[in-house]
């Protein structure tokens, strides 16, 4: 949140910071200075939430250039390569590499990220409690990195400096291996020093461990609350869920009226002590850390998370419409952390998918993850 006194953050967004740091381009706030006509989203009329009076970043982001699309990130679980060990245990093998990769975090605003598998967040690694997890980690980036999992494992597999292999140098690799426990909504991140730089540069991802009996059928999404310090002053200039500011406002997330929606929510935001999630026009149940099958909070519409805290939200909408969700810290919301769900009746769902440029495969990925143990691996 730190920002130079001589330049308010609002002013930064109006004019861009190119003349100061050379890192950002034409991000502008709707309703602000109109010296350049704002570009219109490509996703069809009726979804330009900026025209509804919300302060938000306008224009579009080149997802192809980024090598990832936040819309797909909601549902693209990585179940690894699945086989069975002689003792009958399921083995899941994953490949993760660290690499430098510039990404566009808001229209015209670029960030020199450090990434896992060329994306921020990294792949959403998913498995079932009790599975053996084997991650081939290779560092092709420009700095030493590690993989530190939030889970239960030996010190050697903890991915911190000074234990086991310690930091994995440039051009080196290491195999992290452990059993997945406990079930829940977890995460992994680089634990090289200085930690705040290695995290905020983009080296983190979701680690979802399903309970052996699975969870009830639902439409499931992964949401990582994150932020970006574009001028390296120790404060974030852009906030988001899944990296690209206001992407889910430009492209509201389709859900069906009446269906159970389950969000695996993780906060990795660096520099700010607290982030939050507020849902409009409905209430949700919350499972702290996802490590229980019964909600730890009933009937709430806002939760807060410190860095690395996470949990599972469950809710459903009763009526069609576009419903906002956002950080209940207005500054974060204006700087990118705000989106919409587009609740539609089943017969309108296909059209809602087409509106935001996804298809039935997106629908399938979003609804098959809650299946009982092992099925995720078969269909991945």
The site for Cu ion (CB under 5 A) is made up of 145, 190, 192, 198, 203
- Cβ proximity to Cu ion: between 198 and 326 the closer is 198
- Cβ proximity to Cu ion: between 199 and 338 the closer is 199
Min separation Cβ 121 and Cu ion, Å? 14
| Exposed e or buried b per residue across 211-225, where buried means at least 16 C-beta atoms within 10 angstroms of its C-beta | beebbeebbbbbbbb
Q: How far apart are CA 245 and CA 230, in angstroms?
A: 13
Min separation Cβ 371 and Cu ion, Å? 34
- Cβ proximity to Cu ion: between 190 and 253 the closer is 190
- Cβ proximity to Cu ion: between 201 and 322 the closer is 201
Which of helix, strand or coil describes residue 274? strand
Min separation Cβ 267 and Cu ion, Å? 19
Q: How far apart are CA 218 and CA 318, in angstroms?
A: 15
Min separation Cβ 378 and Cu ion, Å? 33
Residues forming a β-bridge with 5: none
- Cβ proximity to Cu ion: between 24 and 192 the closer is 192
- Cβ proximity to Cu ion: between 80 and 159 the closer is 159
Min separation Cβ 149 and Cu ion, Å? 14
Min separation Cβ 236 and Cu ion, Å? 18
Residues forming a β-bridge with 313: 263, 286
Could you check whether the bond before residue 194 is cis, i.e. omega within 30 degrees of 0? yes
Min separation Cβ 199 and Cu ion, Å? 8
Burial class of residue 128 in the structure, from the number of CB atoms within 10 Å of its CB (0-12 exposed, 13-18 middle, 19+ buried): buried
Tokens of 3: 């920002």
Min separation Cβ 203 and Cu ion, Å? 5
Q: How far apart are CA 336 and CA 58, in angstroms?
A: 10
- Cβ proximity to Cu ion: between 195 and 257 the closer is 195
Q: What is the DSSP string of 69-86?
A: -HHHHTT-EE--EEEE-T
Could you check whether the bond before residue 182 is cis, i.e. omega within 30 degrees of 0? yes
- CB neighbours of residue 99 within 10 Å: 17
HSE-up of residue 183 (Cα within 13 Å, Cβ side): 19
- Cβ proximity to Cu ion: between 115 and 309 the closer is 115
Min separation Cβ 1 and Cu ion, Å? 24
HEC string of 364-380? HHHHHCCCCCCHHHHHC
Cβ contact 237:335 at 8 Å = yes
**Strand 132-139 to 173-179 pairing:** antiparallel
- Cβ proximity to Cu ion: between 145 and 326 the closer is 145
């Amino acid at each position: 949140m730190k920002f130079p006194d001589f330049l308010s953050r609002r002013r930064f967004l109006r004019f861009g910071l190119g003349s100061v740091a050379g890192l950002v381009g034409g991000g502008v706030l709707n309703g602000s200075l109109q010296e350049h006509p704002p570009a219109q989203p490509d996703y069809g009329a009726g979804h330009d939430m900026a025209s509804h009076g919300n302060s938000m970043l306008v224009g579009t982001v080149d997802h192809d250039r980024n090598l990832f699309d936040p819309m797909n990130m909601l549902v693209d679980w990585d179940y690894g390569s699945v086989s069975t060990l002689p003792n009958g245990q399921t083995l899941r093998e994953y490949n993760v590499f660290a690499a430098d990769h510039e990404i566009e975090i808001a229209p015209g605003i670029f960030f020199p990220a450090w990434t896992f598998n060329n994306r921020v967040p990294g792949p959403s690694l998913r498995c079932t409690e009790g599975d053996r997890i084997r991650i081939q980690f290779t560092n092709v980036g420009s700095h030493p990195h590690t993989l530190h999992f939030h889970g239960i494992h030996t010190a050697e597999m903890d991915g911190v400096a000074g234990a086991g292999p310690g930091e994995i140098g440039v051009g080196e690799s290491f195999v992290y291996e452990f059993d997945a426990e406990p079930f829940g909504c977890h995460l992994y991140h680089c634990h090289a020093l200085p930690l705040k730089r290695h995290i905020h540069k983009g080296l983190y991802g979701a680690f979802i461990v399903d309970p052996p009996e699975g969870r009830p059928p639902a439409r499931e999404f992964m949401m990582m609350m994150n932020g970006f310090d574009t001028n390296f002053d120790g404060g974030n200039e852009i906030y988001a869920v899944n990296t690209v500011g206001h992407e889910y406002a430009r492209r509201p997330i389709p859900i069906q009226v009446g269906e159970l929606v389950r969000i695996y929510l993780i906060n990795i935001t660096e520099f700010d002590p607290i982030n939050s999630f507020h849902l409009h026009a409905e209430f949700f149940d919350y499972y702290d850390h996802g490590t229980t099958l019964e909600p730890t909070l009933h009937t709430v519409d806002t939760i807060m998370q410190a860095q690395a805290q996470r949990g599972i939200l469950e809710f459903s909408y009763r009526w069609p419409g576009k419903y906002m969700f956002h950080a209940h810290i207005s500054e974060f919301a204006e700087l990118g952390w705000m989106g919409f769900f587009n609740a539609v009746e089943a017969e309108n769902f296909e059209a809602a998918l087409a509106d935001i440029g996804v298809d039935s495969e997106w629908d399938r990925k979003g609804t098959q993850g809650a299946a009982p143990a092992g099925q995720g691996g078969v269909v991945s």
